[in-house]
Amino acid sequence: MNLLDRDVFAVLLALVVVATFFSLALMLRPHEHFLLATLLNANCSIGTYPRAVVNGGNITLCLYLENHLGEPIYVQIRYKIGTNETLPTNSTPSPEPTLKTFETILEDRANVTLRMVVPVYVKPSLVGQRIALIFEVWIYDVDNDSWKYTGIWLHHYVKVYEVGTP
Amino acid sequence: MDFNHSESYYHPLSNIARVFRWLRSSTLSALILVLLAVHLVASPAVHSQSIRDEILRLFKRCVHLHREGVDVAPVVATLRKALEAFDQGQYRKASMLVQNASAELNRLEREAPRIVMEKRVRFSITIASLIAIPIVFYFLFPYVYLWIWLRVRRKWVVER
């Protein structure tokens, strides 16, 4: 095959042009901005999450965070204990009080795994019932100098027992 | 006997004076100890709050610099380590990391115009090079192809 043949050369040139435009499109395309958050177990892996906890005890969980928001972020994880009625939504955080906070700073396109030891204590009326351990993701809004709820939250249901409860 | 000798001379009031001196010195020592204790108890809280505020201030500067187009990833990583050290109560380490981050950030801010310009020039050159590939291919490929063709066959012998 003679590569300098008029038709063959035209095909080669067409391939080069398409490859060039494809590369340009990849370089200039706008990046999708998102924040990834995943709840992991005490070994910082997926699966075998604790199902029961003693009232007043602690529970260990990990939280994986990946930043694709296009700039560094200062993240605050707010831990709350709630029920089905007090879960957060995409726009509003849970009305329950924050029991503990965890903070980290992440550069763009970086990830971090936070190990969190959180206390679990509930009212006696909730003992024996399923409660939600809520982890809300807040980020620091540099323009407004305040913490902003991202609309991202994670929750894990556990049953709470008193010591000595079978 | 020489009673006026300084080492053997004894006055009954000297004991009282010594007690007063001791009391004064012990009161002073106690006061110093109390002040030190107060300082030790109070200063980590004050110091820790200032570290935290400084981390936040540096973070804001990082974001502004990033928006200008400067790569601040190493500084942000140092700030994250400082925050981790702060959370673990290692205030000295956190303070040292904050100082490192601050120095690096100052350097980046000084060099920001040059870094941004370099980045823009590099980006423009990359885009221009990509656009130039088909044109270069169109003009140079026949020559390159012929050159390779001749090199591959340079040992060939033409027979009659």
- Spans of all domains in chain B: 44-142
Q: Which residues of A touch B (CB under 8 A)?
A: 3-4, 9, 12-13, 16-17, 20, 23-24, 27-28, 71-72, 74, 102-108, 110, 112, 140, 142
- Which of these, A151, A154, A153, A155, lies nearest to A90 by C-alpha position? A151
Q: What mean pLDDT value characterizes chain B?
A: 83
Is pLDDT of A165 > 80?
no
Collect all residues of chain B within an 8 Å Cβ-Cβ radius of residue A28: 127
pLDDT in tens, B101-112: 999 999 999 999
Is B95 or B31 the better-scoring residue by pLDDT?
B95
Cross-chain CB nearest to B130 (options A9, A23, A103): A23
Collect all residues of chain B within an 8 Å Cβ-Cβ radius of residue A17: 134
Asked if A72 and B133 come within 8 Å (Cβ–Cβ), the reply is no
- For the question of whether the overall pTM of this predicted structure is more than 0.80, the answer is no
Give me the torsion for CA of A125, A48, B87, A153, rounded to 10°.
-70
Cβ distance A78 to A98 under 8 Å?
yes
Residue of B nearest to A104 (CA): B80
Distance (Å, rounded) from C-alpha A165 to C-alpha B81?
Answer: 42
Sign of torsion, CA A93 A95 A98 A99? negative
Cross-chain CB nearest to B138 (options A13, A24, A108): A13
DSSP, collapsed to helix, strand or coil, labels residue B2 as coil
